[in-house]
Amino acid sequence: MKYTGAYALVLVLHLLTVAAVIGPLLAAPPLAARAVRDGRLDALRDHTRTTRLYALASVVVVLLGSALVGLGEVGDQWSYGQLWVSASYVLWLVSVVLLLVVVVPAQTAAAGRLETGQDGSGPDAAALAQRISGAGGLAALLLAAVIVLMVLKPGA
């Protein structure tokens, strides 16, 4: 299928933002968990900032994807009524909520722990690192599922 005009431009922008936003968003939580375990406060702060910023920036990815659906509706290619489109929105939203409500607060709590001179060992630090890894990993799986849906477009 050959894409032209506004659809092609928005598709290129969407794919560029997917690469630029989702990649770092997938990498930051596991790196933050490692920083907690290693007691590296500066690295943890950086990864926390990255997680928060890129989770919020993923809205741009979704807006561009929504524009593609809107442009696709003109040619009866895509529609908001297709299950893969709706499922993608839900999976993205759950992943962002996990990141902003579970991962970032755990990263912030771990940073507070490190700021008070406690190292990355001990049950509290281990629990925070596990929370970051677990919720971050689940968010990554959900985002990967969105990418699979975008590629396969089941039912389209």
pLDDT value at residue 74 = 61
pLDDT of the chain along its 156 residues, tens only?
677 889 999 999 999 999 999 999 999 999 999 999 999 999 999 999 999 999 999 999 999 999 999 887 666 778 888 899 999 999 999 999 999 999 999 999 999 999 887 766 667 888 999 999 999 999 999 999 999 999 998 877
Q: What is the dihedral of CA 104, 108, 109, 114, to 10 degrees?
A: 140
| CA distance linking residue 150 with residue 75, whole number of Å | 18
pLDDT value at residue 120 = 64
| CA distance linking residue 139 with residue 136, whole number of Å | 5
Q: What is the dihedral of CA 126, 128, 131, 132, to 10 degrees?
A: -110
Closest C-alpha to 125, from 19, 49, 39, 4: 39
pLDDT value at residue 121 = 67
- Cβ-Cβ contacts under 8 Å for 87 (sequence gap 6 or more): 149
Q: Quick one: tokens of 132?
A: 């970051």
pTM listed for this prediction? 0.90
pLDDT value at residue 124 = 87
Q: Where are the beta strands (DSSP E) in 40-79?
A: none
pLDDT value at residue 81 = 85
| Cα atoms found within 13 Å of the Cα of residue 131, Cβ hemisphere only | 20
